[in-house]
Amino acid sequence: MELRKIANAIGITGEYPPELDTIYAAMPADNTPACDLTAIDRLQEDYNTFGEFYELVRAVAIEINGDKNRSVWIRTASAYAKENPRKEVNKIPVPQADGTVVTSLLPLYILVSMLPSAVAEYRRRGFSEKEIQLVMHRIWDGMRIVKKQTGMPGINKTYFTWQTLFAKARIFELEEGLQFELKKVHKAAVYIRNKATGQIVPMINSGMVHRSGLHMLGSIGYEDAEGAFEAAFREDDENYYGHGCFDCKIDTESKAYPKSQWEIYLQPGDDFLSFHIPEGADISLDTVIPQFEKGRRIAQERYPEHTGFEIFGSSWIFDPTLN
């Protein structure tokens, strides 16, 4: 049977990377289990990876191992995930929810196939067993949140994408609460800095903005195109030009920033650290600032190939209109 037909049979209708077809065609037709029960047991014993869902995770793994179609999909997708970077792994689709726990949990076993290598990579970089436990337990956290949303533990597309960060060792967590992801600056903005004062101004470079300057055109409540403007960054020999963002509001008029006074601080493609705020984390300044310092220090020591360690956060929690 073709892999496309197998995918359809288990509820995966979205496009998947074409390399999966090549992997499937070369895969030996044997009875190798898709889900490694020994790995599941070890992850639970060492890091409490699955929390109270452990017995369910193990039982569903046994069910998948006895299901030819699901086994083939997990084996194929897992082989692809192990050999590709995180951004490519995120292209693996997840099945449509059908009310069964085996479908809800199916993407978990692709992650499980990656986690032993992730543990080894965290260890290689100098993370302690306690620090590794913090990130491994986030697999449980995803299942918990999906259960809260749907009534059934699982890994949906949002959490599959998020948890590939842990499975590829591209994120770490502090015991104090914050998480730090190694990331590159998005194309949405260029950041310039005043040479004298150190002020940093985001220069928006991401398309049409609502006339209010508060949101991108098309955001909920900001769909009216009248007066909308295009935010684009450009420069010549003397100036940078664009729509700066101040106190969460984008300038409606493009302005010139002389190069004698301003310099590019961060631009798309540069390395930086993105911080994430787990549910219930304390984000008071007295708590957060020391974590920034600690997170930067850990990243510099353990990810020396990552060349940028400025810290950036993007979250609805920062919306100034929210109490």
DSSP labels, 74-110: HHHHHHHHHHS-HHHHTTS--PPP-S-HHHHHTTHHH
Residue, of 283 and 116, whose pLDDT is higher: 116
Name the pLDDT band for 152 (thresholds 50, 70, 90).
very high
What's the mean pLDDT in 170-199?
A: 95
What's the mean pLDDT in 241-249?
A: 92
Give the pTM: 0.88
Answer whether 74's CB lies under 8 Å from 109's CB.
yes
Q: Please report the pLDDT score of residue 41 as a whole number.
A: 98
What's the mean pLDDT in 134-140?
A: 95
Q: Please report the pLDDT score of residue 193 as a whole number.
A: 97
- Summarised one tens digit per residue, pLDDT across range 60-98 is 999 999 999 999 999 999 999 999 999 999 999 999 999
What's the mean pLDDT in 272-295?
A: 91
How far apart, in whole angstroms, are the C-alpha atoms of residue 311 and residue 309? 6
Percent of the chain, pLDDT > 70? 99
Percent of the chain, pLDDT > 90? 87
Q: How many CB atoms lie within 10 A of CB 3?
A: 20
- Summarised one tens digit per residue, pLDDT across range 190-236 is 999 999 999 999 999 988 999 999 999 999 999 999 999 999 999 99
How far apart, in whole angstroms, are the C-alpha atoms of residue 112 and residue 118? 10
Torsions phi, psi of 298, nearest 5?
A: -65, -45
Answer whether 273's CB lies under 8 Å from 311's CB.
yes
Task: Look at residue 128 and tell me whether its pLDDT is greater than 70.
Answer: yes
Answer whether 167's CB lies under 8 Å from 149's CB.
no
What rounded mean pLDDT belongs to the chain?
Answer: 94
Name the pLDDT band for 46 (thresholds 50, 70, 90).
very high
Torsions phi, psi of 158, nearest 5?
A: -60, -45
Task: Look at residue 31 and tell me whether its pLDDT is greater than 90.
Answer: no
Q: Please report the pLDDT score of residue 1 as a whole number.
A: 78
- Summarised one tens digit per residue, pLDDT across range 112-125 is 999 999 999 999 99
How far apart, in whole angstroms, are the C-alpha atoms of residue 311 and residue 163? 21
Return the closest-CA partner of residue 130 out of 57, 48, 51: 48
Q: Please report the pLDDT score of residue 323 as a whole number.
A: 64
What is the β-pairing status of strands 234-235 and 207-209?
unpaired
Task: Look at residue 30 and tell me whether its pLDDT is greater than 80.
Answer: no
Task: Look at residue 28 and tell me whether its pLDDT is greater than 90.
Answer: no
